[in-house]
Amino acid sequence: MKKPKAAPRKAPQEKATPPRTMPFEIDPRKVEESLQKFTDQVVVWAKKGRYTKVRFKFRGKQLLPDIPLAAVAAVEGLTFYWTGLLRALVFNLAGRTVLDVELVNDSEKHLTRGKEALLSGDLDEALVQFRKARDMDVENPTVHLNLGIAFKLKGDHLSARAALEKARSLDKDGPAGVEAERLLGTLKGPAAPAAPPPPPPAGAPA
C-alpha cells in the first residue's frame, strides 16, 4: 500500500509593516504654521530611516500621490512641491481640517527584489536588497529570515545564524519564526552561548 505524499511546505506569509497613521490638523488661518509643525515631525521620522513615503488621506480617500519622505523633509521640497499642492487642497476644504497622514514603509519592494535575485542565483545582489529592506524595517521577521537564507547559501553560517535567530525572536510562534527555527537546526557550527544563570540572592547557601 502506497504511503500518502507529504503536503508541500507552505512558504511563510509576509508580514509587511503597516503604515504609521497620524492626524494632521490644519487651521486655514495658520496654514504656514501648521505645515511647518508637521514638517518638523516628518523630519524626525525621516532621520529614523524606517519610512520612505508620505500619503495624505481625507475621510479614507487618498488626496495626493505618495510623496517621498525626503522631498517632504527637504527645504526645496517643502516650498516647491508638496506644500503648494497641500495648501491648495486646504483652501478647497472649507474650515478647520484634519487629514490622515500615513508614513509608508517601502521595504517590501527591496524584499521582493532580493527574492528575485535569490531565485536567479545572484546571492550578492540578494544580500544588498535584503539589507536595504532590513534598514527600512528592522522589525520585519521575514526580512531577517530571507537574510538568513541568503547568508546560509553564501556559506556564512555565523551571519545566517544571527539573522535567523532574529527572525525567530520577532515571530516566535508565527510562520517566519517556525521556518527560522527549522533552518537553525541545519546550520553547522555552535549555537550562540546561553546567558549565564543569575547570581544567588544575598545570604543564600553556596
Domain ranges of the chain: 20-104, 107-184
Tell me the whole-structure pTM to 2 decimals: 0.56
User: Which H or E run contains 63?
Assistant: none
The pLDDT profile of the chain, 206 residues, written as one tens digit per residue, is 555 444 434 444 454 455 567 676 766 677 677 777 777 777 776 666 567 777 878 778 887 777 777 776 665 444 445 566 666 666 666 556 677 777 777 788 899 999 999 999 999 999 999 999 888 788 889 999 999 999 999 999 999 999 999 999 999 989 999 999 999 999 976 555 444 555 665 555 55
CATH top-level class of 107-184: mainly alpha
Tell me the β-bridge partners of 53: 68, 104
Please provide the DSSP assignment of 30-56 as one string: GHHHHHHHHHHHHHHHHHHTS--EEEE
Please provide the DSSP assignment of 13-32 as one string: PP-PPPPEEEEEEE-GGGHH
